[in-house]
Amino acid sequence: MQQITLLAPDDWHLHFRDGDMLLETVPATARCFKRAIVMPNLVPPVTTGAMVAAYRQRILSARPSGSDFDPLMTLFLTNQTTAQDIIEAKAAGAVAAKLYPAGATTNSDAAVSQVDALQPIFEVMAEQGMLLLVHGEVTDAHIDIFDREKEFIDRNLTRIVANNPTLKVVFEHITTADAADFVLAQGNNVGATITPQHLMLNRNDLLVGGIRPHNYCLPVLKRSTHQARLREVVQSGSPKFFLGTDSAPHAKHRKEAACGCAGCYSAWSAIELYAQVFEELGALDKLEGFASLHGADFYGLPRNKDCITLVREPWQVPASITLPDGSDIVPFHAGQQVNWRVMGNE
């Protein structure tokens, strides 16, 4: 197959950051994605309806001229979040709220330290029709980093889902067979996003031959057996799994530093890399469901009407991208060949 046309895809999990960074990240996503779920872990985090509305306006101001890209906003949950915060965020346009365990990833120190205490908030979210998006890892220092996703399922997620049967829950950026099998075992109110890096890479790609900081993300890359399971579930075409890049930009000097910033900036090649994975799996016929249908259906939003066309035409991801402040980002898959290109993007 040399060409494939899809209903315009959506990205159901990404990070735009803020300020001048938006002038890079928003156009990169808007080039092919019609909508995106925008993560709220800014500094300070997006914890009120007013902050939701203000952040959305900053994103809209960074859209390319003529673009109708639609950012879908989220609220950052803390143990101080109130029912009124949920109601006001919903009124301000938030479609979901994000549960980060405190300290689990970038800018999450102010997040949730007591998951059980949020049960009344989950109930209000269900009443309001807001989805719960979950970064599913525990943060206990004594738990091996490769086991933290499974521990979160066993300790927290199983109970959250059981106690809230009318709450829609998205298990974000899943990385393990345990997570995939958990999602498949639940009802229609539980879905999951999967990133390009977790479909394409495993922990060998992070650690063998020296640490590769630009492949470092959280949740961290896992064993090849877990990667294989994720590839199996997207190959199956299950509507429970949909596209979420977790595209997360950090300047090169911050990735290649002692801070070890987590995140892969995939926006400029994401849909093309997903196409490459689905082609490898002999499942290009399943790509449109994963990229364009399943997420919209799960969120209860209309499917897009526009289309994009991908052509089988090799190109090379740039080695770096210069930000508005003059610093550089090393994009995901930097310097490597991609076999598909969005028609019209040169």
Does the annotation list 218 as a binding residue? Answer: yes
Q: Which of 68, 109, 246, 328 is catalytic?
A: 246
Does the annotation list 339 as a binding residue? Answer: no
Does the annotation list 251 as a binding residue? Answer: no
Does the annotation list 214 as a binding residue? Answer: no
Does the annotation list 226 as a binding residue? Answer: no
- Among the listed residues 235, 197, 234, the one whose alpha carbon sits nearest the alpha carbon of residue 218: 197
Q: Does residue 163 contact residue 119 with C-beta atoms inside 8 Å? A: yes
Strand partners, 193: 242
Q: Does residue 99 contact residue 112 with C-beta atoms inside 8 Å? A: yes
- Among the listed residues 332, 314, 174, 310, the one whose alpha carbon sits nearest the alpha carbon of residue 249: 332
Does the annotation list 13 as a binding residue? Answer: yes
Does the annotation list 98 as a binding residue? Answer: yes
- Among the listed residues 114, 116, 113, 83, the one whose alpha carbon sits nearest the alpha carbon of residue 97: 83
- Among the listed residues 333, 241, 331, the one whose alpha carbon sits nearest the alpha carbon of residue 291: 241
Longest Cα–Cα distance in the chain: 52
User: Hey, is 321 helix, strand or coil?
Assistant: strand
Assign residue 168 a region (left: φ > 0; alpha: ψ between -120 and 50; beta: otherwise). beta
Which residue in this structure is represented by tokens 């002692």? 258
- Among the listed residues 247, 326, 262, the one whose alpha carbon sits nearest the alpha carbon of residue 38: 247
Q: Does residue 248 contact residue 218 with C-beta atoms inside 8 Å? A: no
Does the annotation list 142 as a binding residue? Answer: no
Strand-strand pairing, 241-243 and 307-316: unpaired
Is 328 one of the catalytic residues?
no
| Binding site feature residues for Zn(2+) | 13, 15, 98, 135, 173, 246
User: Annotated binding site for substrate: which residue ranges?
Assistant: 15-17, 41, 135, 218, 250, 262
* Active-site amino acid positions: 246
